[in-house]
Structure 1
């Protein structure tokens, strides 16, 4: 028998009781009303939000290094990989939203319901490791941004990141819509910063458009293939699949077949728009890197600090460096918010172990700060870069344990009923998973050996 602290609660969520007052990291379930009497556009607006919380994970500091390296080394040639990875992410996130809407349970809750107690505990612990790894990336990104903007030493910057617990706590009290607005505001800041930097970099637009066309060179060139694998591998975040299946449940819609179908449509529009924004930001990072670094013979730029130091002089505008660091800070903070929410959802879904948001955040952030602070003090900036890479490897290892159950549950007629995945969607989803997992295995092998 497992220890009392980890005793699994009974399956308290049944199809007829999902409207009960269940609470988790997304605040109160069914908090945002979607009234059938309102115009279509207003109902769509009511659904806008969860997709942006998810999009944060697709442009966090962990993604920046691969985009910078791809642009500086090979110009615009890897843009089609950025686009392909975004489409893969859309497929998985649409399935995640559909699961939450139809089943009335998030991915973690369903994994617990359909797994043995021992398997549930193992899955939960793996997820917790992934959450801590994700948090390490946010800690490192935020600390680097603070150093670039305010010349705060990396060690102090790492320690200061614990203060965002106060921001999380305040947002949780204000309500879920306020939290969504905060994240969307940060994402808008990232979007604006890179839009300006994109214009300042003056890319060769003909080459930019040709970069979105797939080429065989990506496969035949070993160096290009390695970076392509890194871009795809750093894109899909496992915790986003848990997060999205929960956050869509904050919308109060009609539980009829028609209501669920409309909710799936609105959620799909939300995630497609949000991930198109993430696609723009990632593409803008790569394009800026290609136009500024590759065009000037700087083919080895992969570190965030190097990009900051060079982007201003090479563009002829000091504001470019400032905007780069500001976007990095906004990216780190927004990712920090969603990682906390995902951690709470995973903990409550797998073991029904409830914990206040500030306590959860403090524990998770402490587990991220300790290794980051140790590496910073011992190894300096070089060690921080390696720790960032290691965190992405850990996240990659968790991916199959999130993707496989998601595809399996959404293809199960007993769970999804008339909304079960079509044969074409099942094939597309499994192909997407196999590609991502295989590429991550190659990436991990190359990173370790």
Structure 2
């Protein structure tokens, strides 16, 4: 067996924000060895599907409505898989990310408008990470919430160190944190002892989700928290870190491995999201605590209601890991959209501080004025904002991946494209119903 192609050192000055073609891939040998060299980009986007924003919506949905919203998690996870596969296809075939293609194929005014909308989504996502990390620091170490919000700005140094080490180190760090989240919630799920028949029934769609305003608000929040708009830009860029053959055969193999990476990574994210809602339903809803949507309340009650303090500790550790990991991908996405849309290049530390500052200001204001309850409401609102912004990222993605002039023979088949357009129509309709009831 021939040895794999060796990676050359990453040069940040020439490879851009994400080290394009800096990671070697195996071009022969067993399929599983070749697949392992492609694993990574899918997990970077999977982080966004289990960040602190997901926790608030999943906890609120499980506590208030039991297992009834599990089908929304399943639906949104399937939607996420399809959209991320399309995003990966765009990056591999077109050799450009979604932001770059928007700049090339849209008017200057349209590109700037799309960039500003995407920046709003990134700030909303970062707001959730700020709040989630600050709450975790308070729960685990007793750090006041206002101090914790300010301390979240320090993660810029960890991100800088990881980016200097190389893209594979960044991916390994993210995957390790995801492993922590998964293990913590697997144990908590076992401690919660859910009613598995009711869990299975929760995956059956219900019209009550649309007719009940409270359930609809949480359902849209779950969709916004699960299908992250900035991840579509991020994934189309990070798949280009792999040094695969750019021949049609090489692209075809890269597409297959990238799709497998997405399915495995987002399958893990689905299990974590489902575990959060199931745990909330089993522990809080069945015990009469239907009003639990606050992360701190959940932390305090989880131990007593399950009979072991370990459940609360695991909850706090997983929340901290979720906040730290998702902050990394928000920074990467911010660099990608800024460089792609308007060709403004900033040092990673400057980009990170700008994004984090925009998130810290409202979090500090709400914390000081309204206290912890206001912070939780802001956390859920940030996820609804993401859902409202999602169609503006979906439209160019579906359009470009369906265009033969851009994708050639790899253009999205018409049935798949129509499925994607239908998904977008459903999200727009749900958003319209929500806005009409506000």
Q: Same fold by TM (over 0.5)?
A: yes
Which of residues 281, 289, 293 is equivalent to 1:290? 281
Give the Cα–Cα distance (whole angstroms) in 1 for the partners of residues 181 and 372 of structure 2.
24
C-alpha RMSD of matched pairs (Å): 1.7
Q: Tell me which residue corresponds to 2:301.
A: 310
1:56-205 equivalence runs, <5 A? 56-205=47-196
The answer for the alignment partner of 2:4 in structure 1 is none
The change in CA–CA distance for 1:313 and 1:44 in structure 2 (over 3 A counts) is same
Specify which of 391, 399, 403 is matched with residue 412 of structure 1.
403
1:151 shift after superposition: 1.0
Change (3 A) 1:178 1:21: closer
TM-score (norm 2): 0.94
1:238-387 to structure 2, matched below 5 A, reads 238-387=229-378
Scaled by the length of structure 1, the TM-score of the pair is 0.92
Q: Which residue of 1 aligns with 2:428?
A: 437
Residues 36/434 of structure 1: CA separation in 2 closer, same or farther (3 Å cut): same
The Cα offsets for residues 292-329 of structure 1, whole Å up to 9 and x where unpaired, read as 01111111111111111111100000111111111111
Please say if residues 82 and 231 of structure 1, whose CA atoms lie closer than 8 Å, have aligned partners that are also in contact. Answer: yes
- Cα 1:374–1:223 shift into 2, 3 Å: closer
Specify whether residues 102 and 408 from structure 1 end up closer, same or farther in structure 2 by C-alpha distance, changes over 3 A only.
same
How far off its partner does 1:273 sit?
0.6
State the 1:393 CA deviation: 3.3
- Structure 2, unaligned runs of 5 or more: 1-10
Aligned-partner SS, 1:32: coil
Query: In the alignment, is the contact (CA less than 8 A) between 2:18 and 2:332 conserved in 1?
Result: no
Q: Give per-residue Cα distances to partners, 1:314-358, cap 9 Å, x unaligned.
A: 000011111111111110111100000000000111122111111
Contact conserved, 1:134 with 1:339, CA < 8 A, in 2?
yes
User: 2 CA distance for matches of 1:82 and 1:188?
Assistant: 20
Aligned residues: 428
Q: 1:47 aligns to what SS in structure 2?
A: coil
Which residue pairs with 2:22 in the alignment? 31
Of 132-141 and 25-34, deviating more is 25-34
* Residues 346-398 of structure 1, C-alpha deviations (whole Å, 9 max, x = no match): 01111221111111111111111112112212221122123223322332332
CA offset at residue 103 of structure 1?
A: 0.1
CA contact (8 A) 1:169 1:357 kept: yes
Retained in 2: the 8 A contact 1:22–1:28? no
Summarize the Cα distance change of 1:428–1:231 in structure 2 as closer, same or farther, 3 Å threshold.
same
State the Cα distance separating 1:23 from its structure 2 match. 4.8
Q: Which moved more, 1:339-348 or 1:112-121?
A: 112-121
Deviations 1:32-62 (A, max 9, x none): 1123233221111011000010011111111
Structure-2 separation of matches of 1:367 and 1:218: 33
The alpha-carbon deviation at position 445 of structure 1 amounts to: 4.6
Which of 200, 204, 216 is the aligned partner of 1:213? 204
Unaligned runs of 5+ in 1: 1-19
User: How far is 1:226 from its partner?
Assistant: 3.9
Contact 1:136 1:388 in 2 (8 A): yes
In 2, Cα distance between equivalents of 1:133 and 1:220: 27
Q: What is the alpha-carbon distance in structure 2 between the residues aligned to residue 137 and residue 55 of structure 1? A: 16
How big is the shift at 1:216? Answer: 4.3
Cα gap change, 1:284 to 1:178, in 2 (>3 Å): same
Secondary structure at the residue paired with 2:75?
A: helix
For 1:180 and 1:267, the matched residues in 2 are separated by 15
Offset at 1:80? 1.6
Q: Secondary structure at the match of 1:48?
A: coil
